[in-house]
């Protein structure tokens, strides 16, 4: 844990203009009931234009499926950026709750959280969820064709 915190700090130092002051953000995601295998999800932060900033969490451990998380994988992120930020894929109807560190500089600064989702042999969804990052807790529902029923965060 200690090690990853240092990694974030370093990553933040290069990617962001200001030295990072971090806090913990809790992401809560509930999937709807769909027929199929467990979903791969990528949670990441972009600016309003969709320019990738950094990865918050990846559900699903097998790198060979990451190419289906279409926008996220396109951002040119490096493996080291989300080392230690991966967990199990999420099944139909399940809820994922995960707490990660987030730099203060990304909050209330026009950034947003996006979720790419994919299920084997089913549709890959680019940015199925888009939710502005504010200091107030946020909540939204997923796309009509996607796998996310509800997504929210709080500090």
Partner 1 sequence: MSQRIHLLASLALGLLLLLSAATGLILAGNQLSEQLQAPTTTDSVAQMAERVAAAVPGIERIERAPSGVLRVAFSTAEDSGVLRVDPASGAVLGSYEPSALMEGLRDLHRDLLLGSAGRWLSGLSALGLLLLSLSGAWLLARRLGGWRRFLLPIAPGRGLAHWHTVVARWTLPVVVVLALSGLYLSAVSLELIASGEEGANYPDAVYAQPAAPLGNLSALRNLALEDLRELEFPADRDEGNYFTLRTATGEGFVNAASGQWISFQRYGLAQRLSETAYVLHTGAGSPFWSLLLAGCSSALLFLTGSGLLAWWQRRRLTGELRGNVPAEQAQVVVLVGSQSGSTWHYARQLLAQLQAAGQRVHVASMNQLQPHYPQARKLVLLAATHGDGQAPDSARDFLQRLEQSPLPEHLHTTVVGFGDSRFQHFCGFARQVAQQLERQGHALALPLQCIDRSEPAALQQLAQGLGQWLGCALQLLPAQPHVALQRLELLSRELYGEESESPAAILRFALQPEPRARGPARLWQRRARFSPGDLLAIRPGEGLAPRFYSIASSDEDGAVEICVRRQPGGYCSGLLHRLQPGDCVEGFIQPHPDFRPAAGRHPVILIGAGTGVAPLIGFVRKNVNQRPLHLYWGGRDPQADFLYGRELESYLAEGRLTGLRLAFSQGLEPCYVQDRLREDAQQLSLLLQQGAQVLVCGSREMAAGVRAVIEPVLQTLGESLEQLRLQGRYREDVY
Task: Give min distance, CB of 60 to partner 1, in A.
Answer: 12
134: its two tokens: 């504010």
Judged by CB, which is closer to partner 1: 17, or 121? Answer: 121
Task: Give min distance, CB of 106 to partner 1, in A.
Answer: 22
**Continuous segment of H or E residues that includes residue 123:** none
Task: Give min distance, CB of 108 to partner 1, in A.
Answer: 26
Q: Is 139 helix (H, G, I), strand (E, B) or coil?
A: strand
Judged by CB, which is closer to partner 1: 10, or 63? Answer: 63
**Binding residues for partner 1 (CB under 8 A):** 35-37, 50, 62-64, 66-67, 70-71, 73-76, 121-126, 143-145
Closest by CA to 111, choosing from 16, 24, 2, 19, is 16
Judged by CB, which is closer to partner 1: 2, or 35? Answer: 35
Task: Give min distance, CB of 25 to partner 1, in A.
Answer: 27
What does DSSP say about strands 40-46 and 124-132: parallel, antiparallel, or unpaired? Answer: unpaired
Judged by CB, which is closer to partner 1: 71, or 103? Answer: 71
How far apart (Å, rounded) are the C-alpha atoms in residues 38 and 149? Answer: 15
Q: What are phi and psi of 97, to 5 degrees?
A: -125, 125
Q: Which residues are bridge partners to 67 per DSSP? A: none
């Amino acid at each position: 844990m200690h090690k990853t915190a240092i990694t974030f700090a370093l990553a933040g130092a290069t990617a962001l203009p200001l030295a990072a002051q971090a806090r913990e953000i809790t992401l809560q995601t509930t999937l709807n009931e769909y027929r199929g295998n467990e979903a791969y999800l990528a949670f990441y932060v972009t600016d309003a234009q969709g320019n990738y900033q950094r990865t918050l969490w990846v559900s699903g451990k097998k790198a060979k499926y990451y190419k289906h998380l279409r926008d996220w994988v396109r951002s040119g992120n490096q493996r080291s950026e989300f080392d230690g930020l991966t967990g199990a894929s999420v099944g139909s109807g399940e809820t994922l709750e995960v707490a990660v560190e987030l730099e203060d500089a990304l909050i209330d600064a026009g950034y947003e959280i996006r979720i790419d989702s994919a299920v084997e042999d089913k549709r890959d969804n680019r940015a199925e969820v888009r939710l502005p990052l504010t200091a107030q807790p946020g909540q939204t529902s997923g796309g009509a064709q996607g796998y996310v029923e509800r997504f929210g965060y709080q500090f």
